[in-house]
Structure 1
Amino acid sequence: MTNNQIKYMIEVAQTGSVNQAARNLFISQSALSNAIMSVEQEFGRKIFNRSSHGMTLTAFGKLFIAYITPIHQQLTQLYAMRSSSAGGNTPSLSIISNGFYYISDIVAAMGQSHQASGLRISLQEDYGGNVSDVIANGMADLGVVRLWNCYRERNLESFAGAKLIYHPVAELQVGVDVSRRSPLYESAGEDISPEELAGYPQI
């Protein structure tokens, strides 16, 4: 498996679409599909389930992505070190998040406002729960994570054990998606109370 194939597999896992991943990677869909098939043949296991709704990870695929993501991040850091040594002491900031759609907009705005200083900002997304490990191992400078109330104490203990400093940014309510077939779809307003959800299966 090549470095490019590692990057391709992670991009498809994140986008859930060969078409979108190919556009993001600036390669053809056929080249990306061939790369996926090549890796699946190499490991003798299916990594993605293919359907009309897109690409989803198999059970093995989730494990596969969890293993290759830190490898990809380490390679990215190594190449960044090579670039910085070739170009002098260029200031840099490496950010990792576990999937906030607005982070890329913030990073782009930061890049524009600090353009004169030559600051190089890189953004990684992680869906395998490895953000704290990436920061603790020095592969990123800043992480943006979401903490669920039920895991909060355990997460904070983990951060403290890794000597990471946690700063809360916002406290948000859980979002609920309701399909047209649900009786709650016709509810007035945009909010649904916990009492209204009480009679429905919950995860």
Structure 2
Amino acid sequence: MTFQQLAYFVTAAQYGSINQAAEHLYTHQSNISNAVRQLEEEFSIQIFDRTSKGVQLTKAGREFLTYAQDLVWRKENLEKLYQVRTKHQPQHFSVAAMRSFFAYAPVLEETDGSFWDTPMILRLQKCSRRDVIESVASGRADLGILFAMEDHTSRLMQMGRIKGLELACLGKSCLHAVMRADHPLIRSRDLSAISAYPYVIIENQEDYSRLYDEESGSISSLFAAAPSVIISTNDSMTCQSIVAHSDAFFISTTPWKHGPHYDFASIPLPGKENQLNFYSVLPAHAELSPLGQTYLKHLQRLMREL
């Protein structure tokens, strides 16, 4: 006995006709007849009396219909219940990025509102380079976003291959010094004196001689002389507040794109050693969900505008 056999029988009983049941179910008459015959053989009963006008339920058939109809209705109600739940079940999407801006900015790129029509749970994480790779490789993140200096590109690709990941280039940028818009250096555009101003470090795993969690050149290679004042913080809002109210500066991987939170401006650091490549990270041969594809599309557009 199958649910399809029961559904064919219940429909034939409702219409009192094999032909009409077949038309209603968009199937062949023989399929209905075979299903009824198989039920009769399995339960050793005669379900229908066949007449020239159609079919009529026997006494045994009427009793059998009561149970069959209940099973068919229960199955239909169960399917409807979970179809509704599935339709409204939130989609899960997780992003691990080396910089928080690249995690949340693509969400803010959505302008027509359709992005928010789908129930979802978004997890946007800022991680070190190693943690981005590990999160995607382990399945904790659906998409990774990372960057590397030009000299470290081959090493990064090798790390991805070892972990079974595919890295696709999103774009290029260079390091920028970010400071308040009326900073003396913004007016002069001369970075030769930048070491005289306080330098605020905002990367969690950065120490006094490195910009990021991988070796990417010391401060002395970025500036003519090491800054005389270095302030280290693991909170980006603290960093921004200091820079907004003083002559301090911090280093950003892109021009300043965070909107009107503060009146900031940025100056690109010259030199090939300050060039960066940005990558999306996915498991090899993985396919993003529709939500993930929309997110990635906005991310790619964001990168083109940098």
TM bracket (short chain): 0.3 to 0.5
The answer to which structure has the higher helix fraction is: 1
The answer to which structure has the higher strand fraction is: 2
Determine which structure has greater relative contact order: mean sequence separation of CA pairs < 8 Å that are 6+ residues apart, divided by chain length.
2
- How does the TM-score come out when normalised to structure 1? 0.43
Rg (Cα) greater in structure: 2
